[in-house]
Amino acid sequence: MTGSEAPPSFRLAYVPGVTPDKWARIWHERLPDVPLALTQVPAAGAAGVLLGGDADAGLVRLPVDRNVLSAIPLYTETTVVLIPRDHLVTAADEVTVEDLADEIVLHPLDDVLDWERLPGRPALERPATTADAVELVAAGIGVLLVPLSLARLHHRKDLTYRTVTDAPASSVALSWPEDAHTDRVEDFIGIVRGRTVNSTRGRQPEPARSKGGRAEATAPARRTPAAGKTGGRPGGATGGKTGGKQTGGARRATGGGHRGVGGGKGKGGGRGGRPRQR
């Protein structure tokens, strides 16, 4: 897909916990004539939405299949344990996985953390969703480890959370199909990377093209010689090439064995020095 074939609107998918509001606001300021359509999708289904053409790009959780999707990592979230407010764990500011060894740790089917081995004791059944697991935490059935954004998304007055220092973390990235890097995608990349509207790293206007359709190269600007340097032969009687700064050469003109103004050697009677007196 080329930039000219991009749809009139830009469709952005995002997974639960990700808040695209700031980037959406900048988009509306910079591209007021291009509607931005936001759609929340399950974390596990984000790749399918992008590859199926239902979104132009997405704010997703890593990892993604890099064979078919491009991705720019944006940030990595802190992992926390969600617990009732009267739980013993609340006595500490942060805990480790080992501190939860005696707890029933809920493991929902839509978990986004990449566990090699789940901590604590397993529940009899896995909750279908994170929202279901949060209800079980509130009922005193167990505890739940999630990225901080999901703990805030499912905020309840009777629950709180603590940082788990050695748990797996979840990273968020901007992703799009490998074969669909459009101008609109590049615009959004510039926004999430914090480029200014006049940034030279952003998308540039199309270059002028010749009759054959090839982009014409822009001729480089001519360099202005620095002060004290000339671009050709001197106009005086020396006739030699200039080899350095005039001021430095002038100071060295009378010294034995050093270069003169014109770049020659000797005290002034040699090549490039002062003309002989008749």
Q: Is 123 helix (H, G, I), strand (E, B) or coil?
A: coil
| Mean pLDDT of all residues in 54-63 | 98
| pLDDT reported for residue 30 | 96
Q: Which residues contact 6 (CB under 8 A, 6 or more apart)?
A: 56, 182, 183, 184
Q: Which two tokens stand for residue 13?
A: 């998918």
Mean pLDDT of the chain: 81
Q: Residues spanned by CATH 3.40.190.10 within the chain? A: 3-76+171-192, 79-164
Q: What percent of the chain has pLDDT over 90?
A: 67
| pLDDT reported for residue 197 | 79
pLDDT band, very low/low/confident/very high, at 146 (cuts 50, 70, 90): very high
pLDDT band, very low/low/confident/very high, at 236 (cuts 50, 70, 90): very low
Strand ranges inside 148-249, DSSP E: 159-164, 171-177
Q: Which two tokens stand for residue 266?
A: 């000797």
| pLDDT reported for residue 7 | 52
Give the right CATH number for 3-76+171-192 from 3.40.50.1980, 3.40.190.10, 3.40.50.300, 3.40.640.10: 3.40.190.10
Q: Which fold has domain 79-164?
A: D-Maltodextrin-Binding Protein; domain 2 (3.40.190)
| Mean pLDDT of all residues in 186-215 | 67
pLDDT band, very low/low/confident/very high, at 8 (cuts 50, 70, 90): confident
- The residue type of 211 is K
| Structure-model confidence comparison of residues 189 and 225, the more confident one | 189
Question: From residue 33, how far is each of 36, 188, 217 by CA, in Å?
Answer: 10, 14, 31
Give the HSE-up count for residue 154: Cα atoms under 13 Å, Cβ half-sphere. 26
| Structure-model confidence comparison of residues 97 and 278, the more confident one | 97
For 66-95, write each residue's pLDDT tens digit.
999 999 999 999 999 999 999 999 999 999
| pLDDT reported for residue 196 | 85
Q: Is 108 helix (H, G, I), strand (E, B) or coil?
A: coil
The kind and range of the H/E element at 83 are: strand 79-84
Residue 241 CA to residue 254 CA, distance in Å, equals: 18
Lowest mean pLDDT among 12-26, 80-94, 104-118, 255-269: 255-269
For 97-139, write each residue's pLDDT tens digit.
999 999 999 999 999 999 999 999 999 999 999 999 999 999 9
Whether the predicted model's global pTM rises above the 0.85 cut: no
Q: Is 59 helix (H, G, I), strand (E, B) or coil?
A: strand
